[in-house]
Structure 1
Amino acid sequence: MNLPPVSAVVFAYHNVGVRCIKTLLARGIQIKLVVTHEDNPAETIWFDSVAALCKEHGIETVTPSDPSTPELAAKVAAIGPDFIFSFYYRHMLPVSLLALAKRGAYNLHGSLLPKYRGRVPVNWAVLHGETETGATLHEMAAKPDAGAIIAQTSVPILADDTAFEVFGKLTVAAEQTLWHALPQLMSGTFTPLPNDLANGSYFGGRKPEDGRIDWSQSANQVYNLHRAVAPPYPGAFFEQFGYHFIIEKARLSDLSAANLPTGLHVVDNVIYGVCGDGRALRIIELRCDGNIVSAEELQQLTHVAG
């Protein structure tokens, strides 16, 4: 006997949204509607387009600024989807909307829940020096990232990984998590796991100003900040000599800098950022007021400023 096709309404954005929509299609799920975001012209768009993918596949898309409107609820209700999925969609979905999915509503979150619930979990994990993160498929609930866990896939965070590099791993982990979980979701044979919020953590969004470097912190703290916000994110920044600097690339250094004051220095034609614990970052690419500067150019700036 042929089973009726499984239908879904999908809320999606970013690379994770693109890969997970492709995964649903590959598993034979009929996507009746995709709700996504208009790209923000003030944001650096370094990721793939959900809207472009849907256009390629002939899937209807809408871009409401607020997913809790009666119009969207009526549209989803008319579809009567088996599932609602959220893949890196940036707004919370109201419980009344989630209830329109006959067989459940599920979100793909970029951490190993219950750790790092909330916004930009990859950036927070790198900032806190984690050595592992991952992707979690979970039931959606009234609170963010609080529903029962369906499946997880972990990825390593290497010592020099930036958040951008970790996000690439996470995108693959999200695809793998969804691919392996879908057969059980579709057959209704999955066993949800508890999402123990008491043993987890919640973090809000980050602003560019949060990338300001405090050189009095330890080298590990400053380096983790750099890795967490390195391009294509806005970058870790500071002001010195009357100029605005952004660190593009850096590594922890073995330089013994205990005799140097904190901040920028040029030693043997290499740029260093000296930190409060006497250790330093070797700065490979440094941007000054919009332009990449060499060690020689930085020395000239320092001389002029002095």
Structure 2
Amino acid sequence: MNIYILNATLNGKLFAEILCSRIEIKGLITLDEDGKKHTPEYYDYTDFCRKRNIGCIKMRSYDLSDVMDREKLQELEIDLVIIASWQRLIPSWLIQKCSIGIIGAHGSHEGITKGRGRSPQNWALMMGKNRFSASIFWIEEGADNGPVIDTYEFEYFSTDSILTSYVKINLYKADMILRNLANGRIEGKGGTPQEKGGLYLPQRKKEDGKIDWNRNAIDIYNMVRALTKPYPGAFTSHGETEFIIWSARPVMAEDVLYLYENAESGTVLSILGDSALVKCGTNLLLIESCTNFEKIEEGMVFESADYKEQIMNIVSRHKKKYDTTLSRLILDEIE
């Protein structure tokens, strides 16, 4: 069986490593050295392929619309493509070319059908969900709507971040691929059709990560861990200076918050070594790592976004581009 991995970002590296160590992989289809133009999460897989003595097939276009890309892939004998990390829809000509098919992976806190679309792990962590359901499925035309091969539900802990979420997803995704190759379900093209009436999650952009200090410290903490590296990060500002917060912890002490009753939300209450304590709408947030930390001063008041307005803008942006039904996870935030 001629198996290829489709992978353009660092998020898929662990998954690709596991597959290459367990089964024979013919090659890895990736972006060329200009990949940064297509995605900030681009990773150069040249050395990865060289060390494993597998083909490294470099694409010029992320949506595979480039004529030379198509010609290059048409020359290959491909039975199965397994997507590690590729943030674009797969063209029908490539789906038809593969003698077995193309396998993708997706999920959400409510499963694949109720969480199609963008940033499901970020949204789940932001909303404080404690479980995530990941599925591998057959790629068909459309977004995340093909027959499901296998599903695994795992737990989120309060200490999980988007990076640990990616690690978990890659581990469980690799396990599902290997088990279903071994039992013949993949070669036999086994799969269960999804329910009709899928719900969608909208795309997030960097500007959607500005912090509303009037929210509960837990909500702000969830935003920080959902948007930390490899993403642009939750951020705040004071004057011309932007502070990207990479890690923080909520300080739950509601019964003694009267000690700071005269401080407005977003006020830096104290600098504690390499950390800063900030007043939130409810409770406190301890910033542990951020950019421009040396510019933070006690008494400084960070600018605050309007969270509800943020979500309304995200919803509006989605509706202008897509005619799909959004998940209640998003709509409940503005109703």
Common topology (TM > 0.5): yes
Paired amino acid for 1:51: T
8 Å CA contact 1:116–1:201 kept in 2: the answer is yes
Residue 46 of structure 2 is matched in structure 1 by 51
Change (3 A) 1:254 1:30: closer
**In 2, distance between residues paired with 1:44 and 1:95?**
26
**In 1, distance between residues paired with 2:219 and 2:252?**
16
Would you say 1:7 and 2:11 are equivalent positions?
no
8 Å CA contact 2:213–2:220 kept in 1: the answer is yes
Deviations 1:54-111 (A, max 9, x none): 1222413212224133433333333231112222112211112211111122112364
**In 1, distance between residues paired with 2:236 and 2:283?**
18
Deviations 1:168-219 (A, max 9, x none): 2222122212111222457634641232353543332x22211100112233
Deviations 1:92-151 (A, max 9, x none): 111122111111221123644124322333222211212122532111111111111111
Change (3 A) 1:202 1:242: closer
Alignment of 1:113-192 (within 5 A): 113-185=112-184, 188-189=187-188, 191-192=190-191
8 Å CA contact 1:18–1:49 kept in 2: the answer is no
Change (3 A) 1:52 1:121: farther
Alignment of 1:85-96 (within 5 A): 85-96=82-93
Residue 234 of structure 1 is matched in structure 2 by 232
Number of aligned positions between the proteins: 289
2:265 to 254, 262, 273: 262
**Kindly, what percent of the aligned residue pairs are identical?**
22
8 Å CA contact 1:147–1:195 kept in 2: the answer is yes
Residue 3 of structure 1 is matched in structure 2 by none
Deviations 1:215-264 (A, max 9, x none): 12233322211111123432211123664333232111123336232112
Gaps of 5+ in 1: 1-5
**In 2, distance between residues paired with 1:202 and 1:122?**
10
Deviates more, 1:21-30 or 1:117-126: 21-30
Residue 317 of structure 2 is matched in structure 1 by none
SS in 2 for 1:299: coil
SS in 1 for 2:159: coil
8 Å CA contact 1:9–1:76 kept in 2: the answer is no
SS in 1 for 2:49: helix
**In 1, distance between residues paired with 2:269 and 2:98?**
60
Residue 96 of structure 2 is matched in structure 1 by 99
Residue 108 of structure 1 is matched in structure 2 by 105
Residue 223 of structure 1 is matched in structure 2 by 221
Change (3 A) 1:78 1:286: closer
**In 2, distance between residues paired with 1:30 and 1:227?**
34
Change (3 A) 1:241 1:82: closer
Residue 283 of structure 2 is matched in structure 1 by 279
SS in 2 for 1:133: strand
TM-score relative to the length of structure 1 = 0.80
Deviates more, 1:233-242 or 1:163-172: 233-242
Residue 249 of structure 2 is matched in structure 1 by 251
Paired amino acid for 1:18: K
Change (3 A) 1:264 1:121: same
**In 2, distance between residues paired with 1:251 and 1:187?**
43
SS in 2 for 1:60: strand
Deviates more, 1:266-275 or 1:136-145: 266-275
SS in 2 for 1:76: helix
8 Å CA contact 1:17–1:50 kept in 2: the answer is no
Paired amino acid for 1:285: S
Change (3 A) 1:218 1:9: same
Give, in angstroms, the shift of residue 43 of structure 1. 7.3
Change (3 A) 1:292 1:195: farther
Change (3 A) 1:183 1:299: same
TM-score relative to the length of structure 2 = 0.74
Change (3 A) 1:239 1:55: same
Q: How well do the aligned residues superpose, as a CA RMSD in angstroms? A: 3.1
Paired amino acid for 1:17: G
Deviates more, 1:123-132 or 1:248-257: 248-257
Gaps of 5+ in 2: 302-335
8 Å CA contact 2:149–2:186 kept in 1: the answer is no
